[in-house]
Amino acid sequence: MPLVRIDIKKHQDPTHAKRIGQLIYAAMHSAIGVPENDNFQILAEHDEQHFVFDSQYLGIPRTDQLVVIQITLSEGRTVEQKKLLYKTIAESLNAELAVRLEDVFINLVEVKKENWSFGNGIAQYAL
């Protein structure tokens, strides 16, 4: 049920964004129990003029290798599950793609289940 948006600065490796997405999906699967085949992602690469961020907000030094991740998902996860998700995503991106932990920015947007339609004009999760 998550919809993941991943924004990065244009990368020289054309597979970089897709690889980030694969690691995020694996982290969601293991940390918060996202089911198999429930993988919907928007991958966007931007030039310098269209990728703006503060390099020191909250005392966290960020570089132009910043990965901005926004995950929209149904409400109901505990704070502990969310913390595990953040940690799992950051550590996997660091271990597999050498993304600095400081360069992993994650935002969760929780919605009620009736706010999803996966096709056919039907709210599949509405009770």
Phi, psi torsion values for 78, nearest 5 degrees: -80, 165
Exactly one of 2, 14, 35, 61 is catalytic; which is it?
A: 2
CA distance 124 to 118: 7
Answer yes or no: are the C-beta atoms of 9 and 46 closer than 8 Å.
yes
To the query of whether residue 2 is one of the catalytic residues in this protein, the response is: yes
Answer yes or no: are the C-beta atoms of 72 and 106 closer than 8 Å.
no
User: Smallest Cα–Cα separation from 82: which of 32, 38, 40?
Assistant: 32
Place of tokens 């003029």: 49
CA distance 68 to 70: 7
Q: Please list the active-site residues.
A: 2
